[in-house]
Amino acid sequence: MATGELQHLCGVAAVYHFPDRPTSPLVPRQRPEWASSLIPRMLLNMQNRGQLAAGMSTYREGRRQLIMTYKDVGTVIEAFRMNHRAKFEAIMTRLAGPAAIGHVRYATCGQDDVTYAQPFERQHGRRWKWFAFAFNGQLANYAALRRELLQKTDYHLARDTDTEILLHRISYELRGDERPDLVAVFQRLHKRLDGAYSLVFLNAYGELVIARDPYGFRPLAYACDGSLFAAASESVALQNVGFEEIQHLEPGELIVCGPDGLRRARFASAPRRARCFFEWIYFANAASNIDGRSVYQARAALGRELARHETLPLDEDTVVVPVPDTAKPAADAMAHALSLPSVEGLLRNRYVGRTFIEGEDRAERARLKYTPVREVLEGKRVLLVEDTIVRSTTMRVLIEQIRARGRAREVHVRVACPPIIAPCFYGIDMSTLDELFAPRFLNTGIGEPDEATLARMAQQIGADSLRYLPLESIPRAIGLPADELCLACLTGRYPTPAGKKLYKLAQQRAGRGVAGRTVEAEEPQEETQAV
């Protein structure tokens, strides 16, 4: 997506080699201790979920450091030195182990330095209390949990992130003089958490846990091949290392892998499912399958939905142009349904490094990253297809460039999503109302904009016209009922108690002109249990 640099909070991966089974051919070098070296490859296939940092923790019996954690800022290739064979091999040799977890990070909470990179590790003299973990998502009740800890004597938080809060909560549930059952630990843990979390956990006994929150906000897939078990936020990460029979962990379920084998159990129930619809329309790799629904096919279905609602007169000078890269399946499907050419009138410069542009504003990033192709656009009526519009800054620049440098005759924006009218508190980097484009025009909030409103919105971004999809198109394209999806950013209706409170707070803060991420605000106050 180009129109707002929308970002997602992370991806997780895990591998475990069962010692009592014949070694899987998928295990590198056919040596169990090298199972951990699959983690960077899996993370590389989920680079779309975070580019700020990458890391992994491994377990190996007999090593002085039973759990060893390595992490660094940058992409997966940068963090693990994958473009320098000798350095990469040295890192993998040092970290070699039969069990491992990994993480790629984008920050919706906390800073961009290596101390915020995951996994987080907590060392302890007792092996069941020594663990590492990583998670994909965001705790909506982060502020309340943080306040609860800081109100207690002698508690100190080194980082402003919900990951550290979760570290303390897990540590608390592992307290005592007897080794607890891990299913019971997560049964207690979930009662204190409100929000999204697909989590991987590894302790100094070599036990591995994967868990998905009871609403199922974020995906979590897993697979087995002989002695090898693996899990990842996206199925493509498992497919590309050779797994074939891939399954999806149900919301509220966990899997424990240990010397006694694999145990799948339910640790939490919820009044409803709330899978994030953005996973299908933007975040996930197009080659992934989430909960049995193809990401690519969902995006193509959205394009066919756009075609159904198109009213613009079409002629031989009309072309469909996707905003690279996630809008391409929708644009191609729309063009096919309308018997129009789908052309790459915008080319993305994939060689402009992240570091080079990170200090620029959104408008300058668009000029650096996208080049209009005049030979494709000149004199054309352009249907510019985007997956969604969040802040609109970059979209305005793209339209300006398509006109000025591409010399297009007309630019009509088609959005494969309804208007974003509310913040997200479950792991997407849009937690304030004032940063969103659509609420400035939709005074009544929820509902489809009328023609006059759409005309004002189009004028604001410099387009000849603007069209969004209606709300009912989203569940129809994904193939899931609306009540099994989280559509809060489209409707203002949040599935969890903390989300509902935060939305009220976001509205109050917007009315007072208060800046900052709502999810990190000290309000709303709520009753909390003592730690």
- Beta carbons within 8 Å of 511's beta carbon, 6+ residues apart: none
Structure confidence at residue 343 (pLDDT): 97
Which residues share a beta bridge with 11? 104
**In a shared domain, residues 135 and 232:** yes
Structure confidence at residue 447 (pLDDT): 64
> What 3 state SS string does 37-79 have?
HHHHHHHHCCHHHCCCEEEEEEECCCCCCCEEEEEEECCHHHH
Burial class (CB in 10 A: 0-12, 13-18, 19+), 181: exposed
Backbone φ, ψ for residue 41 (5° rounding): -65, -40
Tokens of 430: 């849009």
Q: Is the pTM of this model over 0.85?
A: yes
The number of beta carbons lying within 10 Å of the beta carbon of residue 291 is 21
Structure confidence at residue 446 (pLDDT): 60
15 Ramachandran zone, left/alpha/beta (phi>0; psi -120 to 50): beta
**In a shared domain, residues 33 and 164:** yes
Q: Kindly state the average pLDDT of the residues 477-502.
A: 96
Last residue of a domain, one of 274, 303, 333: 274
Tokens of 211: 């868990």
Structure confidence at residue 5 (pLDDT): 46
Residue 139 belongs to domain with CATH number? 3.60.20.10
**In a shared domain, residues 239 and 113:** yes
CA distances (Å), origin 376, targets 36, 345, 403: 47, 6, 12
Distance, in Å, from the CA atom of 184 to the CA atom of 205, rounded to the nearest integer, reads: 17
CB 157 within 8 A of CB 167: no
CA distances (Å), origin 241, targets 44, 224, 439: 11, 12, 43
Residue 308 falls within a domain, yes or no? yes
Tokens of 13: 């991966």
Residue 284 falls within a domain, yes or no? no
DSSP state of 379: T
Q: Residue 529: which H helix or E strand, with range?
A: none
Residue 342 belongs to domain with CATH number? 3.40.50.2020
Structure confidence at residue 63 (pLDDT): 96
Structure confidence at residue 360 (pLDDT): 53
Kindly provide the residue ranges of all beta strands, DSSP E only, lying in 64-139, ordered along the sequence: 67-73, 99-105, 120-122, 131-139
Domain hosting residue 338, numbered range: 294-494
Q: Catalytic: 10?
A: yes
Residue 524 falls within a domain, yes or no? no
Between 197 and 525, residue with greater pLDDT:
197
Tokens of 448: 């489809």
Residue 191 falls within a domain, yes or no? yes
Q: What is the mean pLDDT of the chain?
A: 91
pLDDT reading at 278 higher than 90:
yes
Nearest one of 359, 480, 14 to 209, comparing CA atoms: 14
Residue written as token pair 């994958």: 82
CB 357 within 8 A of CB 365: yes
Residue type, 78: E
Least confident residue range of 80-94, 100-114, 387-401: 100-114
**In a shared domain, residues 306 and 266:** no
The number of beta carbons lying within 10 Å of the beta carbon of residue 378 is 14
**In a shared domain, residues 114 and 227:** yes
Nearest one of 108, 133, 139, 189 to 426, comparing CA atoms: 139
CB 121 within 8 A of CB 57: yes
pLDDT reading at 108 higher than 70:
no
Residue 72 falls within a domain, yes or no? yes
Residue 282 falls within a domain, yes or no? no
Cis geometry, peptide bond prior to residue 119 (ω within 30 degrees of 0): yes
**In a shared domain, residues 200 and 257:** yes
CB 466 within 8 A of CB 459: no
CA distances (Å), origin 227, targets 67, 99, 256, 529: 21, 12, 15, 42
pLDDT reading at 94 higher than 80:
yes
pLDDT digits (tens, 9 = 90+) for 216-236: 999 999 999 999 999 999 999
Structure confidence at residue 531 (pLDDT): 38
pLDDT digits (tens, 9 = 90+) for 130-181: 999 999 999 999 999 999 999 887 888 899 899 999 999 999 999 999 999 9
End-to-end CA separation in angstroms for the chain: 41
Backbone φ, ψ for residue 489 (5° rounding): -70, -15
Kindly provide the residue ranges of all beta strands, DSSP E only, lying in 170-292, ordered along the sequence: 195-203, 208-212, 221-225, 228-232, 246-248, 253-258, 261-266, 275-276, 289-290
pLDDT band at 407 (very low <50, low <70, confident <90, very high): very high
Structure confidence at residue 49 (pLDDT): 92
Cis geometry, peptide bond prior to residue 325 (ω within 30 degrees of 0): yes
CA distances (Å), origin 247, targets 15, 224, 244, 279: 15, 9, 10, 17
Quote the number of domains for the chain. 2
**In a shared domain, residues 73 and 219:** yes
Residue written as token pair 């997780």: 12
**In a shared domain, residues 254 and 403:** no
Tokens of 291: 């909960």
CB 373 within 8 A of CB 406: yes
Tokens of 321: 């142009």
The number of beta carbons lying within 10 Å of the beta carbon of residue 136 is 32
Tokens of 148: 């609860």
pLDDT reading at 295 higher than 70:
yes
Q: Kindly state the average pLDDT of the residues 283-302.
A: 96
Residue 518 falls within a domain, yes or no? no
Structure confidence at residue 156 (pLDDT): 86
**In a shared domain, residues 189 and 254:** yes
pLDDT digits (tens, 9 = 90+) for 1-44: 443 444 556 999 999 999 999 999 999 999 999 999 999 999 99
Tokens of 213: 């929150």
CA angle in degrees (0–180, nearest 5) for 372-1-248: 145
Between 34 and 513, residue with greater pLDDT:
34
Cis geometry, peptide bond prior to residue 524 (ω within 30 degrees of 0): yes
3 state DSSP class of 473: helix
Residue 206 falls within a domain, yes or no? yes
